[in-house]
């Protein structure tokens, strides 16, 4: 069975016309004969959107009751049974009511696609997982319903439904998006022109990335190697030299001139496995590239220009930045160089050759270590001085054979002593053959032309063999050194991943006494006795402008210095990472406080306005001269004003106490008080039907009476609101050691175990379905107040269904151990004595 196709209509903000456009497409498909059904469409009361549904077949929604409230969701099974060609499913990021087979609607859509049913759906930018936090920072509104980017990116088609901010705000003002009472608040908050412009840019850029992925796939499928300049991509080639920082910054400036351009830094490593570029310098340049918003890449190739161009064409680069050649004039005359060759082969890719301090100065000569040890070289010279004269004394088998035997001797010397002794053997052998074996004998002259050719061939072959043998020995030694360096660098990388101390690893690796990292002349990290003066150190490695590594123990070999520089660069990066982590940890409380303030503003925008509006309307009615109210009407208006002001008073008190809790400035006056005194006051304040079964011998608790009453009002109030008719909550208590547990049992819908801790977050109402029952502070405040008094507030499940809140407080009268207390429930059964309420998020 072929998988269905997914088409998504993407919008920068609500109201741009995603659902309307989706329904237009559904009607066009239906008119062309496609079997179309509407699985779920949310019109939000918009007349034109509802009219667009018209006579399209609609699958009835499935009614669901959750926690005493009725909801409707898409009937996934009914759509699967109906098996249309195309299903219209609105709001891809929607969270299903708990208890459904799938937690998210996009998972429902995946089932439809797997069943071969194509789907039209919609999503807004703020619901994309990767942009959720970005949108929250822009708008100040956090969206809890998200959809993974991968789900949207894998859609066969993503169409942007675009609208200018001005046009969208006009639609809002005309009442085409929200109801009239919400228009002013929306225009002055989420729908500000700056917010909409930023969201629109995010949508365009995100969709551009999606289109770019599709273009890459098309080019790969059709084997198109030519560069298509659809988007600026600047590739900067790094050699590992000190000019790399200059090149990266120059490339970054080029990329910055083009909005949305990509910066890619690449180093082409040799494919022979031998050490080449300085790893420490490359590590520093990688940091520079990433700090400028670029990415770092490394490719392997024998032909550097070709490998560089292959990489550039692979990423569809439009420009390449290279450093001007640092080779001398003679070298440039002999070979074209990487820059010239790359330019000649680049085709449509622009190549920039950037000058720098070392351009044209010639490469710094590196000290070349001998390929073989000194003992082997001395042995080789000894073989030349002793072996060749001895060979001359015993040979006389014809010139041709003599030449071959001397050639074998030169090869043997090269194998033993390397290039130097082999060159001496070639020269000495040619002279001995000329003097003793080539007519006229005893003279350095050659009579026959054939003999001259034979001697010249001997010299050339001897020199060539000597060079090959010496080069092979040198590369073998370099390969062993490169392998050791690679192993050491692997150890560095592993240490960084595992969080090991790099300086300790450096001291162990090189057998040092102490290693000290200085930052601006001060000790940042050290292993062993700190060394603060570079003059007393055995080695000094300059990491960057601010960091220096001082080593004590023994001087460093030149070959070891490269690895130490890599260690130093990684140590500086690790130090910087530790500081960033510490700064992030220090900033986390500030971010939480900022989040709290944002949520506070969002909460008070509605929850303060409602009681204020009720009180103002009641008072305005009493003051009006246009209407005459009788005594009963006046009393009703006064009661309305009184209730509204009481609600406002509780809300303001909760907000103030939550602020004090967050600031650590809440005053607590704990005294010994009996629960039989506090619980009745809380019940009187609530006025609901609650069964109290507190034991008469319950010890007093150590608590602040006022705060404890506030806690009970919040907790029991929630239990009352969600208890089913005829089954009121039950309050009971028991002593457990040096604590007293107060528990209230309700038999409401309860809360899933995985969601219980979420409702203790400020401004949280579980499910976010009800935005009119309070600011969502009650349980967060209740837990905070309880913990401030040395107690705890934890949720649990009521046997038989429901939720139990356990309020545990310290007591000055310890009791003996007791088993689980059981009390009768209102329906005649038994339940643990617990404070139970069904919705920990909705508060009074």
Written as one string, the DSSP assignment of 628-660 is ---HHHHHHHHHHHHHHHHHHHHHHHHHHHHHH
- Furthest-apart CA pair in the chain: how many Å? 150
Whether residue 524 contacts residue 547, with contact meaning beta carbons closer than 8 Å, is answered with yes
Q: What pLDDT does 663 receive?
A: 59
Q: What is the DSSP letter of 458?
A: H
**What average pLDDT does this structure show over 140-148?**
86
Please provide residue 213's backbone torsions phi and psi, each rounded to the nearest 5 degrees: -60, -40
Greater confidence (643 vs 514) lies with: 514
CA distance 746 to 726: 11
Band of pLDDT at residue 495, cut at 50, 70 and 90:
low
Report the mean per-residue pLDDT for the chain: 79
CA distance 59 to 489: 62
User: Does the structure show a pLDDT above 70 at 605?
Assistant: no
Among 357-361, 429-433, 587-591, 790-794, where is mean pLDDT lowest? 357-361
Q: What pLDDT does 120 receive?
A: 96
Angle at 133 between CA 129 and CA 134, to 5 degrees: 105
Tokens of 651: 């809300």
Q: What pLDDT does 229 receive?
A: 64
Q: What pLDDT does 559 receive?
A: 62
What's the per-residue H, E or C state across 488-543? HHHHHHHHHHHCCCHHHHHHHHHCCCEEEEEECCEEEEEECCCCCCHHHCCEEEEC
CB-CB neighbours of 92 under 10 Å: 25
Residue 323 CA: distances (Å) to CA of 13, 204, 320, 358: 46, 35, 10, 10
Residue showing tokens 């107040």: 785
Tokens of 545: 């402008």
Q: What is the pLDDT of residues 366-390, one digit of tens each?
A: 444 555 678 888 888 998 888 888 8
CA distance 253 to 835: 64
Greater confidence (816 vs 216) lies with: 216
CA distance 510 to 408: 43
Q: What is the pLDDT of residues 680-716, one digit of tens each?
A: 888 887 777 888 888 888 899 999 888 888 888 888 8
Tokens of 201: 């840019």
User: Does the structure show a pLDDT above 80 at 400?
Assistant: no
Whether residue 564 contacts residue 539, with contact meaning beta carbons closer than 8 Å, is answered with yes
Residue showing tokens 């689980």: 820
Q: What pLDDT does 827 receive?
A: 38
**What average pLDDT does this structure show over 799-821?**
70
Residue 21 CA: distances (Å) to CA of 40, 135, 622: 15, 24, 50
Greater confidence (395 vs 122) lies with: 122
Whether residue 730 contacts residue 693, with contact meaning beta carbons closer than 8 Å, is answered with yes
**What average pLDDT does this structure show over 455-470?**
76
Q: What is the pLDDT of residues 45-62, one digit of tens each?
A: 888 899 999 999 999 999
CA distance 410 to 748: 99
**What average pLDDT does this structure show over 339-365?**
76
Whether residue 524 contacts residue 518, with contact meaning beta carbons closer than 8 Å, is answered with yes
User: Does the structure show a pLDDT above 50 at 327?
Assistant: yes
**What average pLDDT does this structure show over 457-462?**
76
- Write down the H helix ranges in 147-243: 149-153, 165-173, 180-188, 193-221
Whether residue 808 contacts residue 796, with contact meaning beta carbons closer than 8 Å, is answered with no
Q: What pLDDT does 70 receive?
A: 84
CA distance 175 to 169: 10
User: Does the structure show a pLDDT above 70 at 658?
Assistant: no
Q: What pLDDT does 106 receive?
A: 95
Q: What pLDDT does 113 receive?
A: 95
Residue 533 CA: distances (Å) to CA of 72, 502, 503, 584: 75, 21, 18, 33
User: Does the structure show a pLDDT above 90 at 100?
Assistant: no
Q: Which of 198, 170, 290, 180 is nearest to 238 (CA)?
A: 290
Band of pLDDT at residue 23, cut at 50, 70 and 90:
very high
pTM over 0.75: no
Q: What pLDDT does 189 receive?
A: 83
Q: Which helix (H) or strand (E) holds 580?
A: helix 558-607
CA distance 267 to 724: 70
Q: What pLDDT does 322 receive?
A: 92
Q: What pLDDT does 450 receive?
A: 67
Q: For helices 374-394 and 419-432, what crossing angle results, to 10°?
A: 10
Tokens of 272: 């022979």
Greater confidence (505 vs 665) lies with: 505
Measure CA 251 to chain center: 26
Residue 531 CA: distances (Å) to CA of 74, 506, 546, 572, 790: 71, 15, 16, 17, 49
Residue 90 CA: distances (Å) to CA of 62, 120, 124, 381, 754: 15, 8, 11, 88, 28
Among 355-359, 444-448, 643-647, where is mean pLDDT lowest? 444-448
Q: What pLDDT does 654 receive?
A: 65
Residue 118 three-state SS: strand
Q: What is the pLDDT of residues 739-767, one digit of tens each?
A: 999 998 888 888 877 777 776 765 554 44
Q: What is the pLDDT of residues 721-745, one digit of tens each?
A: 888 888 889 998 999 888 999 998 8
Share of the chain above pLDDT 70, in %: 80
Whether residue 805 contacts residue 793, with contact meaning beta carbons closer than 8 Å, is answered with yes
Band of pLDDT at residue 593, cut at 50, 70 and 90:
low
CB-CB neighbours of 619 under 10 Å: 16
Whether residue 285 contacts residue 241, with contact meaning beta carbons closer than 8 Å, is answered with no
Whether residue 228 contacts residue 219, with contact meaning beta carbons closer than 8 Å, is answered with yes
CA distance 749 to 800: 10
Please provide residue 774's backbone torsions phi and psi, each rounded to the nearest 5 degrees: 140, 175
Among 287-301, 320-334, 427-441, where is mean pLDDT lowest? 320-334
Q: What pLDDT does 196 receive?
A: 92
Q: Which of 393, 390, 376, 482 is nearest to 437 (CA)?
A: 393
CA distance 620 to 615: 8
């Amino acid at each position: 069975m072929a998988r269905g196709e997914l088409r998504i209509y993407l919008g920068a903000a609500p109201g741009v016309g995603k659902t309307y456009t989706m329904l237009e497409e559904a009607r066009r498909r239906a008119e062309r004969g496609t079997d179309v059904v509407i699985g779920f469409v949310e019109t939000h009361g918009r007349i034109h959107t509802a009219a667009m549904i018209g006579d399209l077949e609609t699958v009835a929604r499935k009614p669901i009751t959750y926690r005493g409230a009725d909801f409707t969701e898409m009937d996934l099974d009914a759509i699967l049974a109906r098996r249309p060609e195309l299903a219209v499913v609105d709001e891809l990021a929607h969270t299903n009511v708990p208890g459904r087979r799938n937690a998210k609607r996009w998972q429902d859509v995946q089932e439809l696609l797997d069943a071969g049913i194509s789907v039209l759906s919609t999503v807004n930018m703020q619901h994309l997982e990767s942009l959720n936090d970005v949108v929250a920072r822009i708008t100040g509104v956090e969206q809890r319903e998200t959809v993974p980017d991968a789900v949207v990116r894998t859609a066969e088609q993503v169409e942007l439904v675009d609208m200018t901010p001005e046009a969208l705000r006009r639609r809002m003002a005309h009442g085409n998006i929200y109801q009239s009472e919400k228009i002013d608040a929306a225009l002055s908050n989420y729908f500000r022109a700056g917010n909409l412009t930023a969201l629109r840019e995010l949508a365009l850029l995100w969709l551009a990335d999606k289109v770019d992925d599709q273009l890459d796939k098309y080019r790969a499928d059709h084997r198109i190697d030519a560069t298509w300049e659809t988007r600026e991509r600047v590739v900067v080639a790094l050699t590992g030299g000190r000019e790399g920082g200059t090149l990266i910054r120059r490339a970054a400036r080029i990329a910055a001139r083009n909005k949305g351009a990509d910066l890619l830094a690449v180093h082409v490593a040799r494919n022979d496995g031998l050490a080449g570029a300085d790893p420490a310098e490359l590590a520093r340049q990688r940091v520079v590239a990433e700090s400028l918003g670029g990415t770092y890449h490394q490719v392997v190739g024998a032909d550097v220009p070709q490998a560089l161009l292959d990489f550039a064409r692979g990423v569809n680069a439009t420009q390449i930045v290279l450093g001007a050649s640092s080779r001398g004039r003679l070298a440039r005359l002999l070979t074209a160089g990487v820059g010239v060759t790359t330019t000649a082969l680049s085709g449509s890719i622009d190549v920039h050759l950037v000058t720098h301090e070392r351009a044209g100065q010639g490469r710094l000569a590196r000290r070349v270590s001998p390929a073989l040890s000194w003992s082997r070289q001395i042995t080789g010279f000894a073989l030349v001085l002793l072996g060749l004269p001895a060979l001359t004394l015993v040979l006389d088998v014809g010139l041709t054979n003599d030449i071959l035997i001397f050639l074998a001797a030169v090869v043997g010397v090269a194998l033993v002593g390397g290039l130097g002794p082999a060159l001496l053997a070639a020269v000495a052998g040619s002279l001995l053959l000329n003097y003793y074996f080539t007519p006229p004998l005893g003279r350095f002259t050659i009579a026959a032309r054939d003999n001259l050719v034979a001697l010249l061939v001997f010299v050339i072959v001897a020199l060539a063999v000597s060079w090959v043998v010496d080069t092979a020995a040198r590369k073998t030694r370099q390969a062993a050194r490169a392998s050791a360096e690679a192993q050491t660098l692997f150890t560095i990388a592993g240490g960084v991943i595992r969080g090991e101390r790099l300086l300790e690893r450096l001291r162990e690796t090189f057998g040092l006494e102490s290693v000290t990292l200085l930052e601006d002349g001060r000790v940042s990290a050290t292993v062993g006795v700190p060394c603060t003066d570079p003059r007393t150190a055995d080695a000094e490695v300059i990491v960057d402008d601010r960091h220096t590594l001082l080593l004590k123990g023994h001087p460093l070999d030149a070959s070891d210095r490269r690895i130490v520089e890599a260690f130093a660069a990684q140590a500086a990066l690790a130090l910087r990472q530790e500081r960033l982590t510490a700064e992030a940890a220090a900033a986390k409380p500030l971010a939480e406080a900022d989040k709290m303030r944002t949520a506070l503003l969002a909460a008070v925008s509605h929850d303060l306005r409602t009681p204020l509006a009720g009180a103002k309307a009641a008072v305005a009615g009493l003051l009006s001269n246009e209407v005459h109210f009788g005594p009963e009407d006046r009393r009703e208006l006064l009661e309305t004003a009184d209730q509204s002001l009481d609600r406002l008073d509780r809300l303001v008190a909760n907000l103030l106490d939550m602020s004090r809790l967050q600031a650590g400035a809440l005053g607590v006056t704990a005294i010994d008080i009996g629960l039989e005194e506090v619980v009745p006051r809380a019940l009187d304040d609530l006025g609901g039907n609650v069964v109290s079964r507190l034991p008469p011998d319950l010890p007093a608790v150590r608590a602040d009476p006022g705060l404890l009453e506030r806690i009970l009002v919040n907790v029991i109030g929630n239990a009352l609101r969600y208890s089913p008719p005829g089954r009121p909550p039950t309050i009971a208590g028991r002593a457990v050691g040096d604590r007293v547990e107060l528990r209230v049992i309700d038999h409401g819908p309860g809360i899933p175990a995985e969601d219980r801790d979420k409702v203790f977050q400020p401004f949280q109402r579980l499910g976010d379905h009800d935005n009119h029952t309070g600011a969502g502070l009650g349980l967060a405040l209740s837990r905070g107040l309880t913990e401030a008094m040395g107690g705890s507030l934890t949720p649990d499940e009521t046997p038989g269904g429901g939720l139990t809140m356990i309020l545990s407080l310290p007591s000055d009268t310890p009791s003996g151990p007791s088993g689980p207390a059981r009390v009768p429930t209102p329906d005649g059964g038994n339940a643990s004595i617990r404070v139970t309420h069904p919705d920990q998020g909705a508060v009074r």
